[in-house]
Chains A and B, each alone.
Chain A
Amino acid sequence: MGLLSKKDRALILDPLTDNNPITIQVLGICSALAITAQLKASIVMALSVIFVMGVGNIVISLLRNMIPSKIRIIVQLVVVATLVIVVDQVLKAYAYELSKQLSVFIGLIITNCIIMGRFEAFALGNGVWRSFLDGIGNALGYGVILIIVGFFRELLGSGTLLGIQVLGDPITKTGLYSIGYENNGFMLLSPMALIVVGIIIWIQRTRSPHLVEEN
């Protein structure tokens, strides 16, 4: 079995597919969609959430026997807010352009429902190692969706990936553009993020019919 037992592995892998935070649990959509117009921003957002969730779940799990249940929401908010400030300051120091582009959405990680949801549902009742794995797993599940959406929106919307022109140069008409291909600028606008996620949900539920909901 190695490092991870079967149960632990399920903690990481389940959120990637059948228990995905975005497409199944419907958590954390708030800060996710607005920044997926570019792949780079999506990746940075995913990494930030992985960091905040991993560390936050460890902290909450360590404190779980000390937090009075009446004020637990405030305690959780303080922990998340502190971690998010760290992320925000690091981004401002080392990737200023990107942090301008993500603007308030880094701050909105605080109220990202995935984080509070996992604190409430898991970290408050489980040991440190398992909580850490659960945090990483859920953040990965979130990140995967972000990166898929970001990939398609940047590729179809501006013909680039991570800022590199992969489909040829639209101005000098090389590559795909030489046979009349056009970028779909509409993909960069916010409504398309919703529709792309809707399509992902559609595909996922067609592949695993047991996830289908009642109307």
Chain B
Amino acid sequence: MEHLELFFKSVFIDNMVFATFLGMCSYLAVSKKVTTAVGLGAAVIFVLGITVPLNWLLDQYILRDGALEWLGPEYAAYDLSFLSFIMFIATIATMVQLVEIVVEKFLPALYNSLGIFLPLIAVNCAILGGSLFMQSRQIASIDLALNYGLSSGFGFFLAILTIAAIREKIRYSNVPPALRGLGITFIITGLMAIGFMSFGGMLTGGDEGGSGDSAQVIRIEKPSDTNVNDDNLADYESEEDVQENENQENTLEETN
């Protein structure tokens, strides 16, 4: 149950691309065609599934406050967490190189489809972000860490696949010249993120949905609160998102 909850949370609610903007660079750069997008997405799942559990072990047994206790009681006072950035990125870079070599040697078919993306991935924010969020969210055990890595990778996969599909279609629509390419991709991603926000109430079992009115009252009382977390807002906006998609399809048909 815990695993299922973490899976849904990382894929839909805390989706890497839509909620935290991790991996935006490659998300925007490699989403022109569905096939390449699938390749990059698969590579991200793969690498996250390896590096997050590894970095979890590093964090648990070397980096965090008191982690060195297994060496002896006199080491318990050390807190090496300030080294986590450099340790995580070193693990990621070496793992990516290793994986690249191993895959090239033993799985040439996989290498042909993933190969060109693997070096790119060492500097992908999504990979380091996965490890850093794993650390700051205090994932409790190594199997949860593995689950977290794989499912947030899957969230990225889902995001890049959908945007690539939309971008392939939008090529036939009449976008205002200044918005073509990057601009419209940003705006579509924003709309998709609004759509994904509607998953926000999923894990609370609908409790928040029932108290919609009171949530709005709270918002009016404290409008200067910077952490406004009203998921109710998302519900209204996701309809707009659907409409937007419909409009796109309509224009597509017209141009055909």
Complex Cα gap A74–B129 (Å): 18
B77 interface hit (Cβ, 8 Å) = no
Are B85 and A85 touching (Cβ within 8 A)? yes
Within 1-58 of B, Cβ neighbours of A (below 8 Å) are at 18-25, 28-29
Closest residue of A by beta carbon distance from B120: A113
B70 interface hit (Cβ, 8 Å) = no
- Count of residues in B whose CB is under 8 Å from the partner chain: 65
Q: Which A residues lie within 8 Å of B175 (CB)?
A: 215
Mask: chain A, 177-204; 1 = CB below 8 Å from B; 0 = not:
0000011011011111111011101110
Are B170 and A191 touching (Cβ within 8 A)? no
Are A110 and B85 touching (Cβ within 8 A)? yes
Among B22, B119, B185, B226, point to the contact of A38 (Cβ < 8 A).
Answer: B226
- Interface of B, helix, strand, loop or mixed by DSSP: helix
Q: Which A residues lie within 8 Å of B83 (CB)?
A: 85
Complex Cα gap A212–B57 (Å): 47
Are B89 and A111 touching (Cβ within 8 A)? yes
Q: Which B residues lie within 8 Å of A183 (CB)?
A: 223-224
Which of B105-113, B189-197, B204-212, B245-253 lies at the interface with chain A? B189-197
A127 interface hit (Cβ, 8 Å) = no
Among B21, B93, B135, point to the contact of A74 (Cβ < 8 A).
Answer: B93
- Count of residues in A whose CB is under 8 Å from the partner chain: 63
Between A and B, 14 residue pairs with Cβ closer than 8 Å are A27-B25, A29-B21, A77-B122, A104-B129, A110-B128, A158-B224, A158-B225, A191-B197, A194-B187, A195-B191, A201-B186, A205-B183, A212-B180, A215-B171
The 4 closest A-B pairs by CB, nearest first: A213-B181, A30-B125, A198-B186, A194-B190
Q: Which residue numbers of B lie inside 8 Å of A, CB to CB?
A: 18-25, 28-29, 82-86, 89-90, 93-94, 119, 122-129, 132-133, 135-136, 170-171, 173, 175-187, 189-191, 193-194, 197, 219, 221, 223-228, 230, 233, 237
Q: Which residue numbers of A lie inside 8 Å of B, CB to CB?
A: 23, 26-34, 37-38, 73-74, 77-78, 81-82, 84-85, 88-89, 103-104, 107-108, 110-113, 116, 157-160, 165, 170-171, 182-183, 185-186, 188-195, 197-199, 201-203, 205-206, 209, 212-215
